[in-house]
Amino acid sequence: MSTKYYKLAFEKLPTQTEIAYSLWSNYRIQGEFEKAKNLIPKVQEGCIKYFLEMLTNPYEVSYKSKQFVSIEKNILSPSYLSLYNACEYMAFYNKIPDKQKITIKQQATLTKKLEDNSSNNALLAFSLALCSKQFKTASELLNKIPEHQINLYGKAIIKLRSYIDPNYTLPQNNTLNPNEKVEVLNAVSTTLIADSKTKLTSEKSEKIFQNVENALQNDSCNENTLEIGVVSALLNNNQEKVQENMQVN
């Protein structure tokens, strides 16, 4: 059901929490974050409103927050329990003092919580994985998300550029327009170059060059794409690739 119909349904049935959540979720998927935020004050008081408030500001969720402690977990329906588990996941993640040094035990807990939640709401679990920079798990969760939802979410990924995984692969059956494809490919390539954990290996360079070629197929004179190609070639001391990108420019 499209956002338009969820909106009409919510206007006629404002106390129906399932409709409220579906409308909020659709707004978020489509990148209309302001509309999603403005919807919350109109939602009836209760646990669904608490869930929406927490998931709108995931990095502020804590075990001690007013919304979290106000919810009685043992009386929640399965669909609400999925939202509770999502908030509990972010509360656990936010409590980790040093996000750069997550222990093996903490990592195992994060992965298990995401996998458990994905059976009820794979798209929400995928969003949480991106928020907490669990890119390996996020890639695995993509396989559980229906193709039409991946296409919708692809546009929102552009708004999460700083979280893009260097190993992210643009889905073959995507519905992004040429400009959006170029932006995603450029973001992935930039992340590969900027990755400080490992130096620019030949394998990483090859992936960058492939991204550059794919991006140029959608925009043959995109300056950012050409610059990425030249920088990568220079870092890899590949004069042939340098000349290729310079000639296109």
Cβ atoms within 10 Å, residue 130: 20
**For residue 124, what pLDDT is reported?**
81
- Residue 61 to residue 39: CA distance in whole angstroms: 19
**For residue 62, what pLDDT is reported?**
94
> Can you tell me whether residue 3 is helix, strand or coil?
helix
**Quick check: pTM over 0.85?**
no
Question: Residue 225 sits in which domain range?
Answer: 164-249
**For residue 41, what pLDDT is reported?**
93
Q: Is residue 222 part of a domain?
A: yes
Q: Is residue 190 part of a domain?
A: yes
Cβ atoms within 10 Å, residue 192: 22
Domains in the chain, number: 1
Q: Is residue 214 part of a domain?
A: yes
Cβ atoms within 10 Å, residue 5: 13
Per residue of the chain (249 residues), give pLDDT as tens: 478 888 888 888 888 888 888 888 888 877 788 899 999 999 988 899 999 999 988 889 999 999 999 999 998 888 788 889 999 999 999 999 988 888 889 999 998 988 888 777 777 888 788 778 787 787 777 777 776 666 655 554 544 443 445 555 555 555 566 666 666 666 666 656 655 444 555 666 666 667 667 666 766 666 666 666 666 665 555 445 445 554 544
Q: Is residue 29 part of a domain?
A: no
Query: Angle CA(197)–CA(244)–CA(220) in degrees, nearest 5?
Result: 90
- Residue 55 to residue 159: CA distance in whole angstroms: 17
CA gyration radius, the chain: 21
**For residue 249, what pLDDT is reported?**
47
